[in-house]
Structures are given as structure tokens and as C-alpha cells.
Structure 1
Amino acid sequence: MIKIEKVHHVAYRCKDAKETVEWYKDKLNMDLVLAIAENEVPSTKAPDPYMHIFLDAGMGNVLAFFELPNSEEMGRDQNTPAWVQHLALKVADVDALVAAKESLQSKGVDVLGPVHHGVFKSIYFFDPSGHRLELAADIGTPEQYKQLNEVAHDMIEEWSQTKRAPKHAAWLHEHD
């Protein structure tokens, strides 16, 4: 039986490894912990030079990027809205979220939010490669998370049949 312990790392492509390291350090205080560079892809043996960087996302979490200088210019899936594909990082609380927004804005980053999602609040912004990032602060109670967990399977089942938002957790959007 497979038992996942945690995410080892999440990897994205970046336009420029050095710019990415500097941006994440300056904007999100994430340190570079490892860099791997090869001229050949280890898994496929394809001749494709790359720089693979790993950033400390806190508590053993690692965010990684590949710079691929011989590949076509980076793009994104034009059939997927920009708000869908994103990386959400957790902050301690709403005060930390507001402070993060102020810090990012003071460094010239355009920030949306905070947006209230019922059991958490979030801010949104983009990195220099165009990846959407979210900082989220949990605000839900244990009872709310329990209630959401209890209806999750029913919601998936209803969605699979109707492709319409089930009302099981509509209370998430009934807030000030």
C-alpha cells in the first residue's frame, strides 16, 4: 500500500533561473537551497540543458523551477483561465496576509485581495514567469472543516452528474 508522507517538491518552468531566485528571495523570503544543472535529461537521456533550482517554502516544503534555454518560449495553456492554475502558499493568519500584501505592493507587485473564501482568505499575484501565486490564511473553525469534509463526496457525485455547483457548502460564500 502506498503512503505518501508529504510533497517532496513541486516544479514549474521559469523564464530565467537567476531572476526567479532573486524574485522569490526578495518578495517571499524564500532561500535557494539547491541547484542542479545538466546538459542531458537524466530520465530520458535527451540532450537538453537545464538549470533546476529548489527554493525553501518553509517547514520542509520545496518549490522548484526549471530554466530550459533550448526550448521554445514559455507559454501557458490558452484553454485554461489564468486564475485556475496557481500555487497557494499558507501564511500564519489574516494579519500576516495583510502584511504580506503591503510588503508585496511596496515592492511593485500588483496584488488582488484579500478574497474571502469562507474558511480562508487569500491574496493573488504573479511571479516574473507569469505563474499565479496565492497566499492563504485559514479562518475556518474545526466544525466548518468537518462539515466540508462530510459533504465532499456527495458534492463530487452531484457535480459529476450535473456539472453545476452543488449547494452543500453554499454557506462558504455567505459572509460579510
Structure 2
Amino acid sequence: MTIQKIHHVAYRCKDAGETAEFYKMHLGMRLIGAFAEDHVPSTKAPDPYMHIFLDAGGGNVLAFFELPNAPEMDRDRNTPDWVQHLAFELESIDELISTKKRLEEAGLDVVGPTNHALFHSIYFRDPNGHRIELAVNTATAEQLNRMQDVADLMLRDWNLTKTPPRYMAWTHEIEFGSR
């Protein structure tokens, strides 16, 4: 088996119309499809839903489910709220900065930019509470090779000790000024 690409990523939303409008207005994603059923096709369980699909660019699709009969949306309280997020790539630092300004002018609370050495990011939330990251790649070929060269070591050492291996510490030493 060879994975070709991610077909779509789906999240739950409180209101499909509000969600589609948010992603159109703030991220330029257009609605490209919608399905609504009274039963879940895979399980046949009775559960009415609206399933929307948004064009996230480059052949990528972001989808949402509105589930009017399900309990109110919540999140996994055992997972910090910064962990689960949607990350989208922008073309340049200038675009990242201008987007941050535009989002703030629209009343959104935006964190960043954060310098991750390999990319710069800003963070904000959609109307469902999902965290969104907009990122611009800034890594050199040398930095990417350096990261790839230690990836297996990072995972091995983490699995043995459950403490952060320091092979990639340089990526955040830049941000934290300890370099």
C-alpha cells in the first residue's frame, strides 16, 4: 500500500454554516461539498448530521460534522488545549504578519508569531474552539537534513527515558534566547 495524500481531515463543529463562513472569511477556504444523512453510512447508526468540505488549497480538504442530536461539544480534558490543532502553510513571513493583523482587526485573539527555527507560526481559534496554526517554512536544506538525521535517535531516546532528547534543542533556543 502507498498513501497518495490525506484525502480529508474531519472535525466536529457547532454550526456548519457559521464554520463554513469563518473559514471562508478568515482563511479563504470555499465550501466545495456537503452531505447530510439520517444514518451514519459506515455503521448504519441513526444519527442525523451535516458534513461539509472546504478547499484548503493544494488538493487538501478540511471537513466538519455538525451533529445536532449529540451531546454538546467538549474536548479531552486530559489533553492540553494547545496539542490538538489544524496547521496550514502560508507562503511568506510578510503574509503571516499581514494575516495576523487582519485577524486581530476582525476581533480574533492571535498568539505569535513564534519562531520554531524551521518555521514561524501564529495561533488562533475558530468558532468551535479548534486551535488553528498558520505557519511559514523558513528551514534551510541543511536544517531539514539535520532534523531528519536525528529523528530516529529522538524517538529512540524518548521511548527509553520519556525525557526530551536534546538533539533538536537548537530549534527553540533561538526563540527562548538561550543560544
* TM, length-normalised to structure 1: 0.98
Residue of structure 2 in register with 1:124 after alignment: 123
Does the residue aligned with 2:144 lie in a helix, a strand or coil? helix
Q: Which residue pairs with 2:71 in the alignment?
A: 72
Which amino acid in 2 is paired with 1:67?
Answer: E
Please report how far the alpha carbon of residue 174 of structure 1 lies from its aligned counterpart in structure 2 after TM superposition. 2.6
List alignment gaps of at least 5 residues for structure 1: none
Q: State the distance in 2 between where 1:116 and 1:74 align.
A: 32
Residue 42 of structure 1 corresponds to 41
Q: Could you tell me how far apart the structure 2 residues matched to 1:15 and 1:154 are?
A: 41
Paired with 1:169 and 1:40, the residues of 2 have a C-alpha distance of 47
Q: Helix, strand or coil for the counterpart of 1:143?
A: helix
Q: Tell me the secondary structure at the aligned position of residue 115 of structure 1.
A: strand
Matched, 1:87 2:62: no
For the pair 1:62 / 2:61, whether they are aligned, the reply is yes
The 5 Å alignment of 1:120-159 reads 120-159=119-158
SS where residue 149 of structure 2 aligns?
A: helix
| Structure 1 residues 36-90: Cα deviation after superposition (integer angstroms, max 9, x where no partner) | 0001110011111000000010011000000000000000000000000101100
- Structure 1 residue 3 displacement after superposition: 0.5
Which amino acid is 1:73 matched to?
E
1:19-34 residue pairs with structure 2 within 5 A? 19-34=18-33
CA distance in 2, matches of 1:89, 1:159: 27
User: What amino acid is the match of 1:31?
Assistant: R
Give the C-alpha shift of residue 96 in structure 1.
1.0
Distance in 2, matches of 1:133 and 1:13, equals: 14
Alpha-carbon distance in structure 2 between the residues aligned to 1:37 and 1:173: 44
Q: Which residue in the other structure is 1:110 paired with?
A: 109
CA RMSD of superposed structures (Å): 0.8
**Corresponding residue for residue 160 of structure 1:** 159
CA-CA distance at 1:169 after TM superposition: 1.1
CA distance in 1, matches of 2:71, 2:16: 16
Alpha-carbon distance in structure 2 between the residues aligned to 1:119 and 1:111:
20
Distance 1:174 1:161 in 2: 24
The letter for the 2-side match of 1:65 is: F
Question: Which secondary structure does the structure 2 equivalent of 1:49 belong to?
Answer: strand
SS in 2 for 1:137: strand
Q: Aligned partners of 1:106, 1:57: CA distance in 2, in Å?
A: 23
Cα offset, 1:31, TM superposition? 0.3
The equivalent of 2:95 in structure 1 is: 96
After TM superposition, give the deviation of residue 173 of structure 1 in Å: 1.6
Distance in 1, matches of 2:74 and 2:168, equals 35
